[in-house]
Amino acid sequence: MNRLLVAAALCAVPVASASAGLVRYEPFDHTPVGSSVEGKTNPDGETWVGAYSNAVAPSLIKVASGSLSLPPQLPAAFGNSAEIDGGPSAVPTNPEEAGKALRLPFASLGIAANSGGTMYYSLALRVDELTGATNTTGGFFVALNNSTAATTTEPTAGAARLQSRIDPTDATKYNLGIFRNISATAGATSWSGPLTVGETVFLVASYEAVAGNTNDIARLWINPDPSTFGDGSFSPGTTPPTVVDNSTGTGTDIGIFSILLRQSPAPHVTLDELRVGTTWADVTPIPEPASLALLGLGVAGLVARRRRK
């Protein structure tokens, strides 16, 4: 009985985020399972809108059952998640056509091109199978974007685009890549090493809008050090990313005012707990000290009552 009371106390204590500047939070706690993410509203009151041509919606971006695990230092995931199925068709009238996307806007909370600002996003990711992917460049399935409204064309801009492909040296594994607003190349240095299908990873990506032309920087941290979570003084100079795209002379610098989910020839993935913010701490939140103190008082009270008995 006492164990049940302790468990209830743990669940009852609210876990607050340590980040005060979070731009968007999407736990994908939507229903019904299997329905499109389009039209779903996140806890901030913003709605996922379409960014695709022709009347056929992207059917491969949908609500998935259950949530993914996060590092224990972060607030636990809850509710459902989202999946982006692999194997898109190239037929324009097919709902599985590659390039179709959904957009979650944040408008005035974004950053302007060449402003010197940085936008971060984080998520839990599980690659479920490799069907539909290639072992050259694969495709990008998450990216930051410069538009906010629903559009009847596929996005042409995508910054800090999260790309995935089959590992060229081991067809049972996959790679993740990060690219600023440029198309991926097979030989780019911003591809990760081989990763295991079916394992959940925690990712943090960023896009730095460096002042000047064609010199922005995209970075990706795969399973970053938990000791950095919630760190308001975090710097990529002291905690280098797993991979970085700092290529120059190509692409277009853009402002960041939304985030995209996109169908592509990437593996079949499940993702969860999407956060967007202007600092590392925004997207790696840890429980507030006040919440931890309240939790401690609650557990201490239960222990004291048990001793009196």
pLDDT (tens digit per residue) in 158-202: 999 999 999 999 999 999 999 999 999 999 999 999 999 999 999
Query: CA 99, CA 275: separation in Å to the nearest integer?
Result: 22
Mean pLDDT of the chain: 87
Beta bridge partners of 139: 164
Digit-coded pLDDT (tens) for 4-56: 333 333 343 334 334 458 999 999 999 999 999 999 999 999 999 999 998 88
Other Cβ atoms within 10 Å of 56 Cβ, number? 14
Distance linking the first and last C-alpha atoms of the chain? 13
CA distance 98 to 92: 9
What local confidence, expressed as pLDDT, does residue 130 receive? 95
Structure confidence by residue, pLDDT tens digits, 219-246: 999 999 999 999 999 999 999 999 999 9
Phi (first) and psi of residue 134, to 5 degrees = -120, 165
- What are the structural domain ranges in the chain? 1-16+287-309, 19-286
Whole-angstrom distance, CA of residue 128 vs CA of residue 140: 16
Rounded CA-CA distance 30/161 in Å is: 25
Distance (Å, rounded) from C-alpha 71 to C-alpha 76?
A: 8
Strands 258-262 and 243-245: unpaired
Tens-place pLDDT, residues 256-265? 999 999 999 9
Of 134, 54, 135, 57, the residue nearest 103 (C-alpha): 57
Phi (first) and psi of residue 151, to 5 degrees: -130, 160
Lowest-confidence range among 21-30, 102-111, 174-183, 280-289? 280-289
What confidence tier does 297 reach under pLDDT thresholds 50, 70, 90? very low
What is the widest separation between alpha-carbon atoms in the chain? 73
Closest of 200, 202, 216 to residue 160, by C-alpha = 216
Please tell me the distance from the alpha carbon of residue 122 to that of residue 25, in angstroms, as a whole number. Answer: 10
Mean pLDDT of 78-96: 86
Q: How many residues does the chain have?
A: 309
Q: Tokens for 105, please give them.
A: 């806007």
Judged against a pLDDT cut of 90, whether residue 278 lies above it is answered with yes
Q: Is 293 helix (H, G, I), strand (E, B) or coil?
A: helix
Closest CA to 37 of 226, 295, 260: 260
Q: Which helix (H) or strand (E) holds 298?
A: helix 289-308
CATH number of 19-286: 2.60.120.200
**CB neighbours of residue 288 within 10 Å:** 15
Mention every residue, 6+ apart, whose C-beta is less than 8 A from residue 151.
50, 51, 52, 103
Q: What are phi and psi of 249, to 5 degrees?
A: 90, 0
The tokens describing 118, both together, are 């940085």
Strand segments (E) across 209-303: 217-222, 243-245, 258-262, 268-277
**Cis peptide bond prior to 32, omega within 30° of 0:** yes
